[in-house]
Amino acid sequence: MVISLASASPSASPAMLENLKAQMKLGSSHVMFRKEKANPFIKTQSSGRITMALAVNVSRFEGVTMAPPDPILGVSEAFKADTNDMKLNLGVGAYRTEELQPYVLNVVKKAENRMLERRENKEYLPIEGLAAFNKVTAELLFGADNPIIQQGRVATVQGLSGTGSLRLAAVFIERYFPGAKVLISSPTWGNHKNIFNDSRVPWSEYRYYDPKTVGLDFDGLISDIKAAPEGSFVLLHGCAHNPTGIDPTPEQWEKIADIIQERNHIPFFDVAYQGFASGSLDADASSVRLFAARGLEILVAQSYSKNLGLYAERIGAINVVCSTSDAAARVKSQLKRIARPMYSNPPIHGARIVANVVGDPALFNEWKEEMELMAGRIKNVRQKLFDSLSAKDKSGKDWSFILKQIGMFSFTGLNKTQTDNMTDKWHVYMTKDGRISLAGLSLAKCEYLADAIIDSFHNVS
């Protein structure tokens, strides 16, 4: 910005100029003076003028707008600022103890101690990640004796947890299936749409949640998958659907597989809760294994944030099941090519933890026991919340959907206005779609939460 001022005096002394400068102190702005001759084509009262040019620094980034707060992570920031003793953070899906404190699994501590004892270095991993990790993670997902592994038909690349693994797959789809659409459940995890938008992959929604029953809209789901363009990618939650906690039954999974096979679609699984949903690694992987057993080519993104509590380690993988080992080798090479300019090499610490825990029979069995305990705590909280709601609510409303849901989350059916009441009046922090994370709830706080839900449901339109 430049501001020019003219002096009526044609002969300003150096002292006058310095005095003007002293009077125009404007922070980091730059003040420049120059003596100019009068312009013969412009009539002025003097034969000359003093021009002061004021240059104000203006950012090149003035056109950058402020982004809205993240709908999930922003909840935690608001929670931290609240000083009320009864406050509850039910927004972020991170496991907490009964005392609502973060929890580091014992098997993780043991694995890390072993890593220290071995004095392992911090050299770069290959682009595809730690070989031992890739081996055990594919075996955990599909089963070690699965023919697709024995035949070398699975391309596995270590990714930056579930988000990074999904992003690798999204860029792969955009590059090798241009114009192909991804079908996403309505609702879904909030970051799914961001990932595909930023990867320039078109998407549309298929019906999933039925607000009337607070359950699965199975007929709508089937209808929408049938109507999708042939060869679409169908994004499915392997278990513990986020945000609803509503999963298809085994029979419904069979029907979904039938339709996807008939329409020549490509199933794309997001598996973020294997072992953490039901407490059984095999049960929580049954949907993925069903599709693999049918001979379908599938994509599966994995995360170890929840089941091993490795939230900050950013450890996961993208797996692509192909019809031949040759195709798997080519797919893996291209996934590596995508990863190279994106982040070059994945982190090693979390990969070694997973490889040590899953690859060691003793630690593996101990891990399964810890997962059962974590999943059991969530189930107990879910039951206590249902009991509290049923006992306190005299309206006759059926709250049994809470027990039918599975995993870390429960979809309450509350709307935005009602969730605002939960926060403003009751200091309960949650996402505006009505999802609550039961991992952030203790048995001691269940009755308090029940009071908040009943008040918000019946007294707020």
Q: Which of 110, 189, 384, 445 is catalytic?
A: 189
Structure tokens at 102: 């973060």
**Is 189 marked active-site?**
yes
Rama region for 164: left / alpha / beta (φ>0; ψ in -120 to 50; rest): alpha
Asked about 270 being catalytic, the answer comes back as: yes
Tell me whether residue 306 is one of the annotated catalytic residues: yes
Catalytically annotated residue among 306, 332, 384, 445: 306
Q: Which residue is catalytic, options 217, 224, 247, 270?
A: 270
Do 116 and 109 contact (CB within 8 A), yes or no?
Answer: no
Q: Which two tokens stand for residue 298?
A: 């599938």
Are 188 and 242 in contact by the 8 Å Cβ rule? The answer is yes
Chain center to CA of 335:
21
Amino acid in the structure at residue 4 = S
Q: Which residues are catalytic?
A: 189, 270, 306
